[in-house]
């Protein structure tokens, strides 16, 4: 998983819009991209919630959880889900 940095949603949206060739006055195309990105983010959050539920259930049955890098990744996902609320 690539290392993430803390970027405000507004900065991220602006950067993505510029990366996709939208000028600052091309509001309709930028808005369409933002709707698409929001849908992708919602899908990621839903999939992550399912993944974490499966990991928690597996940990409950086996008594073992993810270790090292995997454990750190799981905790980062938990943080991102909490921040999305």
Residue 65 within a domain: yes
Chain segment 9-63, per-residue pLDDT in tens: 766 777 777 777 766 656 677 677 778 888 888 888 899 999 899 988 988 888 8
- Looking up tokens 């510029």 gives 18
Task: Using alpha carbons, select from 72, 85, 75 the residue that is nearest to residue 52.
Answer: 75
Q: For residues 48 and 80, is the Cβ–Cβ distance under 8 A? A: yes
Q: What pLDDT is stored for residue 7 in this prediction?
A: 56
In the chain, the number of structural domains is 1
Q: What pLDDT is stored for residue 6 in this prediction?
A: 52
Residue 3 within a domain: no
Residue 1 within a domain: no
């Amino acid at each position: 998983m690539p290392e993430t940095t803390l970027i405000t949603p507004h900065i991220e949206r602006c950067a993505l819009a510029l990366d996709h060739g939208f000028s600052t006055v091309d509001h309709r195309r930028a808005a369409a991209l933002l709707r698409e990105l929001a849908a992708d983010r919602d899908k990621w959050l839903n999939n992550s919630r399912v993944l974490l539920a499966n990991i928690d259930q597996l940990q409950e049955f086996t008594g073992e959880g993810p270790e090292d890098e995997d454990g750190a990744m799981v905790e980062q996902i938990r943080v991102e889900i909490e921040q999305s609320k």
